[in-house]
Copies of this chain bind each other. A is one copy, B any other.
């Protein structure tokens, strides 16, 4: 578009506008804003709802999952089954309720109120405001927890192999920087899996704060979109132990996108000292998690092979949706030099970066055309995408056909915004 004459650009703009308006007239309606598994995916776990139902509620160590007993660590079977997904040993794992976000919220809140092992006390009592490193684009709900607690967020650029570690290492030397968010595999939203070298550097780096914690949200631990090229992030727990920083990682995962988003099981894994610290505080809050639901999960999924077989059924439903969106973007935007987008090997998102900015405009145009995207900026701390270029789309909901339509509408919105952007830049260059 850069190379078009003014006349050609205006013609391009007119055509884009016509096509966009024709699309709006079709009156479509689709929500791409969240990573919502489709009903067909939920149906894959139908038998989960019947598992461990009929008198069959004792754990292997004799705990009656219906009662109060058993404590806050969750049932042994669940801790064993999911430990590999957390890069942990079973004794390092807590199995909890239905939300890993809640575990992250609570871990950060407990740290804020009471401090963590190896630290000098409650983070909120520190002389200077606590700060967190936030690889961006990232997950908006992580950032919102920091915002709620008044923890200062420092964005760190995401690269193809994880966050820019030169930047991370430099910033982490500041003693007020006490933590870092990470979605280390099939990252939300970029789809990036942290390389071994990045994991090693995170584990090994010298931090200014002795109580630095990495919040490692391995939300997509087994969520491959590609059957043959599966990516697996290295265990942060192992890497940190080897580097002599055993207490650095707080690892989280859940079955929200393995079984049921509303009725899954969430996990926390960490060093002995951290797990004991977390149990202490969780035990002030509750007598224990819903163990029946944990037992249902173990009975339903069985073992790691069972999890893998189950995930392949998700993949069979998800892959055609991602492909439909990607081929539609290719068709409409290929060679136009207006944006680049990811073709992720796993996870739930396609990440789009607009070359000339204008993400807010695109999201607004798309919304007018009936397509809801994640609000532009949401993937950055404080909702502030400095280049206004990042768009996250979650192509899991809706049918393949509806997604193709939505991707077309999105493409037309991008083309129109790009043409407008170019025209505006040329106009202001003329004025200047």
* CA of A319 to CA of B57, assembled, Å: 26
Known: A46-B55, A53-B53. A67 touches B287 (CB 8 A): no
Residues of B near A105 (CB, < 8 A) are 284-286
- B263, A68: Cβ atoms under 8 Å? no
CB contacts under 8 Å to B, within A259-281, are 260-263, 281
For window 40-98 of chain A, which residues contact chain B by CB distance below 8 Å? 42, 45-46, 49-50, 52-55, 57, 64-70, 97-98
Enumerate chain B residues within 8 angstroms of A55, measured Cβ to Cβ.
46
Which B residues touch A52, using CB under 8 A? 49
CA distance A301 to B42 in the complex (A): 25
Q: Which residues of B contact A398 (CB under 8 A)?
A: none
Pairwise interchain contact A260-B54, C-beta atoms closer than 8 A: no
How many Å from the CB of A350 to the closest CB on chain B? 19
Which chain B residues border A218 with CB–CB below 8 Å? none
> Is A37 located at the chain interface by the 8 A CB criterion?
yes
Whether A284 contacts B68 by the Cβ 8 Å rule is: no
A53 to B51, CA, bound (A): 9
Complex copy number for this chain: 2
A307 within 8 A of B: no
Q: Which of B54, B57, B98, B114 contacts A97 (CB 8 A)?
A: B98
Interface residues of A in 226-262 (CB under 8 A from B): 256, 260-262
Please give, as numbers and ranges, the residues of chain B lying within 8 Å of A69 by CB-CB distance: 36, 262
A223 to B: closest C-beta gap in Å: 15
Q: 1/0 per residue A82-122: CB within 8 Å of B?
A: 00000000000000011101100110010011100000000
Q: Would you list 24 pairs from A and B whose C-beta atoms are within 8 A, ordered by A residue?
A: A39-B64, A42-B64, A49-B53, A50-B53, A65-B262, A66-B260, A67-B260, A67-B262, A69-B262, A97-B98, A99-B286, A101-B286, A109-B113, A112-B113, A113-B149, A114-B148, A145-B284, A148-B281, A261-B287, A262-B290, A262-B292, A263-B293, A290-B290, A293-B293
